[in-house]
Structure 1
Amino acid sequence: MAKIGLRPYLIEISNKSDFKTVSICGEGGGPSLSETLVSFEATFSKGNSSIQDDRSIHITKLPKDGYSFHGLIQYGSLGIDSVIADEEGEEVFVRTSEHMEILPLYYRIWVPQSGTTALAVLQSYESRSCASQYLNLLREYFEFNHEGYRLTVKKVMPNPQAALANSDVKKLRFYKKKVSADKVENIALDDADYVHLELIMHARRYGTLGRLKDLVGSLDEGALIYEGIEFESASAEVQIGDEKRKVGLINASNSAGVVDISGNVTLDQGHPDPESIAKEANKLIVGLKLEYGL
């Protein structure tokens, strides 16, 4: 099954002159993020894509859900001239460099009725994400339309400053891909040159492994070496609101802070069904609202 993740962010508005944070909702005569999102979604709908460096973005918005804007970012990338074949090697399609591969990635942005902070979650698919492209486009659009104001986006990830930092960790997982099968003893493996390894450490029933920020600090220089094998990535199971979530800690593909929801969504033609991923994204936002007191 494909690895599906959600990347959480905080969004704030500030004055460019003095960096002072202002209301996210237009209170006091400032800009409204909600009004900006309405026009942003309309501006970059199908047929009005933003294209940069052979990458394109257009938005398929879904009906607003309470205080949340959500939909699918249609993330496109130009390829090379090639032939697409079926499993039998039969040609089914000739692709040219003008054809664009489109990957639908879910987004959700919660904007409160008052206050200075909004929350966003953006989907990743395996190692692919358009979070930076989408958020940079939103920031540029906002600042172009609201002179004198700055839109700031901060990634929510486990570090000593984050609200998750004091969360108790019940379980740690370490991963290593493509380990020589020769290192696996006493198990007869048929025609396997390499295997993927997963090491799980969990606390006793009523115990914990420690606070997230302490464990992150101990992993700054790498994951773990066990029985001569250096594990290359790690994740922790923490409590976010009423949900237990797996949060990436370190990874060469920069998945730190990504919440893994692979086992909680249903797939439609290999991609998350919008209704099921919307449900998981909303759960994550509800949990983050509790953590941040929003």
Structure 2
Amino acid sequence: MADNAIGLHVYAITQYRMRNSQSIPLSASGEGRLLKEFIPKFIRKFSTAEYEDGSRARFWHLNSVSSNSDTTDGVIRYGSSGFESTIVDSKSLKENYARKVTDVEVIPLYFRLWIPQSGQYGLVALQTFGQRSCVGRFCRGFENGYRSVNDGYRVAFAPVVPAKLASYRDGEVKKISFFKHDHTSDSSENAVLPAGNLVDYQVTIQAKPKGNLGFLGGLREKFAARSGDSDIQYGDTNFDKATAEILIGKKRRRVTLFGVSRETGKFDLTDQVERGANGMPKIDSMRAETTSIFEDIVAS
């Protein structure tokens, strides 16, 4: 994924009894209320910075949080320290700042929690920026915090995979892209580079304006049957990752079909959200896109 690409991981949150691993439906009373009542406690706990020491220390906390009856969203301020670097002006190449080992480079990452009054699950969405992500730390903090205040209970996060959603499974595929990192070029297939060069290799197939390449659910099953979930074979090449651009109603969405586990099922919002002058997505734009995705999931 490009250094400034914007992704969105979505998970279903379910609460369970520890003693028999039985799931607990959400409700406004009894043990079903525990998950909803935990949200403000989680926000309070992580409104101050969590700092993980180590060779490359990490820093994160929640900021700009807003809540209504079922939804809480805001920004995760996330960064790391542990190395020096020099920041220069991209045009003049003049040095603007010498970053110290103890400096923390902090970026904002959008998050959204939706916990309804009833049903079997809630939803959480966590933004990524290029390869930067606070998904693991957010989920671990949530799980550990929930157990610490609700003895005998736990929560689990299950990734929402677009190809398994009814509203996405039947979506028309307009474009498929295959990616392979560190591909060894072959002069017989690549006349531009000498044989043996390492390149990042991409192949894209696009339907005609009124056509399609099939439907998302069937396409994913076809590749899974041929290649399994670890890689995807197209032609004579095994690719590391594949994305599909699908039509949902009148809106196009790009989703990851296959890839490393942390990317499988990710929604790619790079071309959907509006960015601010700082190059980061505007929170209102992230909120609108995430709301739309949540509505698609609930409708399925």
Under TM normalisation by the shorter chain, which class is it?
A: 0.7 to 0.9
1:176 CA displacement? 4.1
**Which residue among 183, 201, 225 is the counterpart of 2:234?**
225
Which residue of 70, 79, 89 corresponds with 1:67? Answer: 70
Deviations 1:44-83 (A, max 9, x none): 21xx212225212100133225521100111121131333
Consecutive unaligned residues in structure 2, runs of 5 or more: 193-197
Greater Cα offset, 209-218 or 123-132: 209-218
Partner in structure 2 of residue 84 of structure 1: 87
Q: Match for 1:284 among 265, 268, 293? A: 293
Residues 239 and 205 of structure 1: CA distance in aligned 2, closer, same or farther (over 3 Å): closer
- Alignment map for 1:1-294 (pairs within 5 Å): 2-45=4-47, 48-53=48-53, 54-65=57-68, 67-87=70-90, 88-157=92-161, 162-163=164-165, 166-171=169-174, 172-176=176-180, 183-184=189-190, 197-202=202-207, 205=211, 208-209=214-215, 211-217=218-224, 218-220=226-228, 222-226=231-235, 228-238=236-246, 243-252=251-260, 254-268=262-276, 269-291=278-300
C-alpha separation in 2, matches of 1:241 and 1:290: 13
CA distance in 1, matches of 2:145, 2:200: 46
Q: Residues 229 and 59 (structure 1 numbering): CA distance in 2 closer, same or farther, change over 3 Å? A: same
Cα distance change on mapping 1:243 and 1:64 into 2, 3 Å? farther
The Cα shift of 1:197 comes to 3.1
1:107 touches 1:121 (CA, 8 Å); kept in 2? yes
CA contact (8 A) 1:4 1:124 kept: yes
3-state SS in 2 of match to 1:124: strand
State the secondary structure of the residue aligned to 2:39.
helix
Q: CA deviation at 1:145?
A: 0.9
Which amino acid in the other structure matches residue 225 of structure 1? Y
Give the drift of 1:175.
2.8
Task: Give the Å deviation of 1:214.
Answer: 1.3
Q: Distance in 1 between matches of 2:200 and 2:220?
A: 31
Residues in 2 aligned to 1:27 and 1:66: alpha-carbon distance in whole angstroms: 15
CA contact (8 A) 1:71 1:107 kept: yes
Deviations 1:175-211 (A, max 9, x none): 34576596455x9xxxxx9675332154873772562
TM-score (norm 1): 0.82
- Aligned residue pair count: 282
The CA distance in 2 between the partners of 1:265 and 1:240, in whole Å, is 17
* Mapped partners of 1:78, 1:206: distance in 2: 46
Query: Residues 67 and 112 of structure 1 are in contact (CA less than 8 Å); yes or no, is this contact kept in structure 2?
Result: yes
Q: Which is worse superposed, 242-251 or 205-214?
A: 205-214
In structure 2, how many angstroms separate the alpha carbons of the residues matched to 1:140 and 1:89? 46
- Asked whether the equivalents of residues 41 and 61 of structure 1 are also in contact (C-alpha less than 8 Å), the reply is no
TM-score (normalizing by structure 2): 0.81
- CA offsets per residue over residues 186-244 of structure 1, 9 Å max, x none? x9xxxxx9675332154873772562551351342522333x55443211234667744
Deviations 1:246-285 (A, max 9, x none): 2102224841100111111111111100010110011000
Contact 2:172-2:248 within 8 A present in 1 as well: no
Unaligned runs of at least 5 residues, structure 1: 188-192
